[in-house]
Amino acid sequence: MPDVGKKVPSLKGHVADGSELKLGDFKGQWVVVYFYPKDSTPGCTTEAGDFRDLHASFRKRNAQVIGVSRDSQKSHANFSTKQELPFPLIADTDETWCKTFDVIHEKVLYGKHHLGVVRSTFLIDPDGKLQQEWRGVKVAGHAQAVLDAIPSK
């Protein structure tokens, strides 16, 4: 896991349409990488919608939003289309991104323990350095808080 102020590894992954996305492709821009547990679940749908609704404001601040979960490209394609998401979703089926950012932890659901993605967001500056991280995110107001952390031009 990169520390705040340190370079983030140049990760790559596949998006819904099968094309490859590389973090290094966004050099010179702010990058918001948000991790969420599962497509089409209530909290994840709300969070994606909040980032969607603020997308134009992120772009005005020279920021790219990238969503990441362990769901498949097909699941992401359906979710992205249904929610009209203007940003890419990484299908991290091999958990490379999740492990790099250390977002898979033990969770308890209905009394049962399992490993799952802890809702987390990371802000990477135009030089590729981690500037801020949010872990154990509560969805309400989160996308706005991330936007507020990015300097306006």
Distances (CA, A) of 133 to 17, 23, 120: 28, 17, 7
Q: Is residue 14 part of a domain?
A: no
pLDDT higher than threshold 80 for residue 108: no
Q: Is residue 17 part of a domain?
A: no
pLDDT higher than threshold 90 for residue 5: no
Q: Is residue 19 part of a domain?
A: no
Query: Which residues, other chains included, contact 48 with Cβ-Cβ below 8 Å and sequence gap of 6+?
Result: 36, 67, 79, 83, 85
Bridge pairing between strands 20-22 and 30-35: unpaired
List pLDDT tens digits, range 88-97.
Answer: 999 999 999 9
CATH number at residue 43: 3.40.30.10
Q: Is residue 4 part of a domain?
A: no
Q: Is residue 141 part of a domain?
A: yes
Q: Which domain holds residue 66?
A: 32-127+135-148
List pLDDT tens digits, range 111-138.
Answer: 877 778 888 999 999 999 999 999 988 9
Q: Is residue 23 part of a domain?
A: no
Active site residues: 44
The pLDDT of residue 107 is 73
- Count of domains in the chain? 1
Q: Is residue 24 part of a domain?
A: no
Which tokens hold the place of 26? 């966004």
Q: Are 121 and 146 in contact (CB under 8 A)?
A: yes
Stated as kind and residue range, the H or E segment containing 30 is: strand 30-35
List pLDDT tens digits, range 27-55.
Answer: 999 999 999 999 999 889 999 999 999 99
pLDDT higher than threshold 80 for residue 65: yes
Three-state DSSP class for residue 15: strand
Q: Are 124 and 112 in contact (CB under 8 A)?
A: no
Mean predicted confidence (pLDDT) in 67-73:
95
Q: Is residue 101 part of a domain?
A: yes
